[in-house]
Amino acid sequence: MDDKSIRILQDYRDKCYVSNILCEMNCDFYRKVRQIVNIPLILSSTIMGIMNSSSFPENDLKIANIVLNASTSLLLSLIGNFKVAEKVSSFRNSALKFNKLCHFIEDKLMNEEEITNETVRQIIIDYDNIYESLEFSFSGRSKDKCKQRFAGKRTLPNILNCEIDFKRPKTPLRKSSVVEKNDLFCVEEPVVFVKEENDKDIRVQVDL
Per-residue pLDDT of the chain (208 residues; tens, 9 = 90+): 678 888 999 999 999 999 999 999 999 999 999 888 888 888 887 877 777 777 777 777 778 778 888 888 888 887 778 888 899 999 999 999 999 999 999 999 988 777 888 999 999 999 999 999 998 999 999 999 999 999 889 999 988 876 544 444 444 444 444 444 444 434 444 444 444 545 555 454 445 4
C-alpha distances (whole Å) from 87 to each of 92, 128, 129, 162, 169 are 8, 19, 18, 24, 40
What's the confidence (pLDDT) of residue 98? 97
Q: Which residues of 40-65 are buried (b: 16+ CB within 10 A; e: fewer)?
A: eeeebeeebeeeeeeeeeeeeeeeee
What's the confidence (pLDDT) of residue 178? 41
